[in-house]
Amino acid sequence: MSEGTGAAETEEFARLLRELKTRSGLSYGTLAKRLHMSTSTLHRYCNGTALPHEYMSAERFARVCRATPEELVELHRSWILADAARGRRTDRTVERTPAPVPVQAPTPVAEPQAAPVAPVEPTAEETGGAPVVGAVAEPVRRRRHRSALIASAAGVAVLAVVMIVARPTVRDGGNDAGGRQTAGATAAATGMAAVPEPSLSAPAASATGTVTPTFTAPATATTTPSPSTPSPSTPAQPADAPAPLTVGTRPYVYADPCSQHFLVNSAPAQVGPPATERDAPRWAAAYGAVSSGEQQVALTVQGTGADTVVLEALHVRITAKGAPLAWNDYSMGVGCGGGVETKSFDIDLDRGSPVITVKGGQRDFPYKVSKSDPEVFYVTAHTKAHDVRWDLTLDWSSGDRRGTIPIDNRGTPFRTSADVNRPGYDYPLGGSEWIKRTDG
């Protein structure tokens, strides 16, 4: 098992991948081409020597292998556990690694000077009676010189001061290894811990009206916990008491590469190529894009300790509703077949008072989660007549504690608008520009 992965959890995840691959009958080479990955990377994922940094890579693999909705949920749960185990193993490695020990150089000390030694003339007995005038006893001088050097070295050793500064290991308690946020905060991304990469910033319009997106280095993911709302029936918890669960949010889930459409208030020449699911949040922010017709959101809910947390109910709240946007519709993929229906919770945003219903065999609330038993929920919101801003709230309980967690898109409501009679554009595979759809 490669360093940095949890052995048992990663092997279980790899086993699920191998089963999907074997059943699909597809070779590693064929899968690699379809997923735009290297064959060696797929080998490492399937034999358990590596774990994807983000779940989306595994989900694409599973969908190409025609995984069932139940298998997709099980694979996601397995990846969450393996990712958490990878983080714990990394933490233990850091704790065992001794911190560098800088040693301060000894304080310079002047070497003691030996007192002058007067020349010593040998006696007549030492010279056998021969007179020696002005001769210095050389053996005696060397002995005294060596004694002076030894005394000097000893003085330096005694007076030198060696300062050893041990730096303690610092651990960040805000985020876990998977980048999930404390309950009450909206997760900035998904999954799997990703390597920072350049990201799109908001486009700047030139004097000619051309929108040019710029690339900037991504900021380090941060966690901003917000306190849970205590139930009136139970004593209020301390303000700094964290909720016993975390909620991770993926705001744009692609059921298949062709399922996601965005409305953008720009001409095709001003819009860059379509984005993958991983890049969708940055792409949408850069162009001010709004989900067109339908939006699927994934929620990863996991306890933070051994205690079981009961998820009582999930609610939708409409924060604003208006006429649909008169913008262009851009598809994020072309040439897709029929997708696999995913178990999900459904929201009809056109209803006067929308409620959350079950879809595709999804079981309704309540659910139970813990640190070792997470849950993944898919929420699909759709509209055919409005531009809607909406968010979610999740009611939970654990022992005598109760609370409510707000869920949104990085501190702002989710937004979905109908694409009534809007011009549609596709970006052909291997193409270099948007092409208007002939079917409108």
C-alpha dihedral sign at 406, 407, 410, 414 = negative
- DSSP 8-class letter at 123: P
- Which tops the pLDDT comparison, 89 or 160? 89
DSSP β-ladder status, 309-322 and 367-369? antiparallel
pLDDT digits (tens, 9 = 90+) for 221-252: 333 344 444 444 445 556 567 899 999 999 99
Residue 73: pLDDT band (50, 70, 90) is confident
Please determine, for residue 74, whether its predicted confidence score (pLDDT) is greater than 90. Answer: no
Question: Phi, psi at residue 435, to the nearest 5°?
Answer: -120, 135
Closest CA to 297 of 174, 390, 429: 390
Q: What is the DSSP string of 88-121?
A: HHHHHHHHHSPPP--BPPPPP-PPPPPPP----P
127: left (phi over 0), alpha (psi -120 to 50) or beta: alpha
Q: pTM of the entire structure?
A: 0.54
pLDDT bin (cut points 50, 70, 90) of residue 32 is confident
pLDDT for the residue numbered 109: 46
Strand partners of residue 388? 321, 416
Q: Residue 340: pLDDT band by 50, 70, 90 thresholds?
A: low
Please give the residue that has the higher pLDDT: either 416 or 122: 416
- Check residue 33 and give its pLDDT: 83
Q: What would the pLDDT profile of 268-288 be if each residue is shown by its tens digit?
A: 999 999 998 889 999 999 999
